Amino acid sequence: MKIPRISRRLILCAVLVLATVGMFLVPAASVTAAEQEWPLQLVGATTVNISQAEFEAMAAATPSNTYTDSDNNTWRGLALWRLIALVDDGDPATFNSALASVYTISLTAADGYVKNVVPGDWVFAGSEDVFVANEVQLDETPDFVELPLVNPLNPSKMWYPLRVNGSGCAFSSQRVGALVKVELLNLPVTAVGVSPASQAVDNGASFTLDLAIDTDTASRGWQANVAFDAAKMQCTGVTEGGFLLDYAIANGGGTVSGGAATIDNVVGTVTIPGYAITGAGSGGPTGTGTLCTLAFTANAAVDAFAAVSLSGVVVSDVLGVIIPGPVVTGGTVAIGDVPMPDLVVSALSATKDGDGTYTIAYTITNQGNDDAVACSTSIVVDGGAPIVVACPALLAGESDTQTLPAQAFTSPTDTILVTADSADAVSESSELNNATEIVYALASDGGNVIINGNILAKLELTVPADILSWVLKQGPNSISGAANVKCNTPWQLQVNDQDANTNGHMTKWQTDVYDTSVKLANALYVGCESTVALSGSNQLIADGVVDDQDADNGQDLAVTFSQQVLYSDPVLGDGYTYHIVVTFTASSTF
């Protein structure tokens, strides 16, 4: 069978300039402070989202000390220890001062900046001199106001919605603005909860709930009691989970039950005497797992929410000592036709901002039939640290659209993952549709001129035109262009360097002549749907089928060229440039 093929060449010429360039981008914002309500996310033994109204009420009831900085701005808010008390040990009414010597406090700003602080660096426990400020009296102004979006004297420094401040902060770097999250790291904790925390089931349907555990202490046994609404659901059985059992079997032992679970479908209780490891050495499992699974049947004639709660939860360590204070959380089951919110990422896009930078825009929509409380959204680029952004309370059918400040493009393609309700603050009809992911390839101004290719019987290829003005600097360099394939059968696009003089490396060149003694040390990378190091062999960078195309317009592709430049790569003069010819070959694969 004959396979139609078409090849096109792209000539890259570049001047190498070895230099370091500093660039600082002033964060952009899609909303002003007055337009955006926020929650502050607290993460520790539990996770709590404090709404703007809740925070302001707490700060009014127990105001911090004030602090006047070197710019004559005076700050006030709520002591940090009062916030940490809500999540440090599962008891929101008390601050556990003993734990303050164990954990690290991680402060996250809206732009993704993270500062980790050891509490011992502060005058912290019980002090009002390290606080989260929600109000400021700017220099020479008479009144306290909510924080402006940015520092009026330095617009590159974001302040809104909150800022850690106070005379108790040991260093200025601990005064973190645009605060959206406070997390306790290395916190010793054991948590047992109903999983999933919320779910929707049909009338008369059978379903299951797990008792899930998360612990950093090696464990050997557990027991618990479960309460449920017997008028709305009935328990049909309890089976042991794998948390203890899998560890025991893997270490040559087993588990023993304290007795069969007692189910009372009149009162709505399940008493589980629990399980313990036998044999299997002296250790025990840590981390996450399932203690047991409970089977239920929903009432066929009820349209309502049903609560499931836990009590008498005991987890023991390898010495048989009860682990103190496990954090216990219940769950909710929506049976039949009941209103529930459902948050989804309804739109996600990336748009070029400048050469090497782009912005991310997304929309969170409540597609459920009930209102959703304020929560948070996380944005993760290429698996990096999450950027946490507040999402306001959304009525059923309502949406919230945000655009992030411009950020640098760091690779031939960036994978962008956006998750609605990232801290699980909202009970939803579905917890499985919160995340959306896209892959974005940046196209710059320098290589997006499309040239026409020859039309074959079944295939047409358009590739970037010559890129003759690419200026390379020390470090990573990237330039992009647009390509297009029109084919009425499945196709693939390959790339190679057919010239043995260069073999994938940009080489010293002048007036159609190479000086092969001088080449860039690193090969040129060419990317589309996949990225390859250019060589003398054809390598696949994209493929597709007819359905991927936009009718007669074909399929548009972003082709990215990436070149790493070392300090050891020589700078050229006297009219010489670095030069290479890249050959694109498209072929139909019918």
Q: Domains (ranges, CATH) in the chain?
A: 5-21+444-588 (2.60.40), 45-185 (no CATH), 203-335 (2.60.40.680), 343-440 (2.60.40.10)
Q: Per-residue confidence of the chain (590 residues) as pLDDT tens digits?
A: 233 445 555 545 544 333 222 222 222 223 333 345 678 999 887 788 888 889 999 999 999 999 999 889 999 999 999 999 888 876 787 787 767 777 889 999 887 888 988 766 555 667 889 999 999 999 888 899 999 888 888 888 889 899 999 988 877 888 898 899 999 888 777 889 999 888 889 999 999 999 999 998 899 999 999 999 999 999 999 999 999 999 999 999 999 998 999 999 999 999 999 999 999 999 999 999 999 999 999 999 999 999 999 999 999 989 888 876 677 888 899 999 888 899 999 998 888 887 778 889 999 999 988 899 999 999 999 888 888 898 999 999 999 999 998 888 777 678 899 999 988 888 888 877 898 888 887 654 444 433 333 334 467 888 876 777 788 887 788 888 888 888 877 888 889 888 888 999 999 988 888 888 999 988 999 988 888 889 988 899 998 888 888 878 889 998 888 888 887 788 888 888 888 888 888 887 75
Q: How many CB atoms are closer than 10 A to CB 35? A: 9
- Residue in 184, 35, 219 with CA at minimum distance from that of residue 101: 184
pLDDT the model gives residue 125: 63
With H, G, I as helix, E, B as strand and everything else as coil, classify residue 174.
Answer: helix
With H, G, I as helix, E, B as strand and everything else as coil, classify residue 206.
Answer: strand
pLDDT the model gives residue 397: 94
d(C-alpha 222, C-alpha 214), whole Å = 13
pLDDT the model gives residue 442: 60
How far are the Cα atoms of 46, 67, 136, 373, 439 from residue 140, in angstroms, in the given order? 41, 15, 12, 38, 48
| List of residues 6+ apart from 513 with CB closer than 8 A | none
pLDDT the model gives residue 507: 92
d(C-alpha 107, C-alpha 388), whole Å = 11
pLDDT the model gives residue 398: 95
d(C-alpha 111, C-alpha 555), whole Å = 35
Q: How many CA atoms lie within 13 A of 114 on its CB side?
A: 14
pLDDT the model gives residue 90: 65
Alpha-carbon 30 to chain mean position = 20
pLDDT the model gives residue 478: 86
d(C-alpha 69, C-alpha 313), whole Å = 48
pLDDT the model gives residue 298: 96
Tally of helices (H runs) and strands (E runs) in the chain: 3, 44
Residue 221 token pair: 């046994």
pLDDT the model gives residue 280: 93
**Cβ 255 vs Cβ 240: under 8 Å:** yes
pLDDT the model gives residue 452: 37
Alpha-carbon 111 to chain mean position = 13
Q: Tokens 């299951």 label which residue?
A: 208
Taking phi over 0 as left and psi of -120 to 50 as alpha, with beta for the rest, 47 belongs to beta
- Amino acid (one-letter) located at 448: N
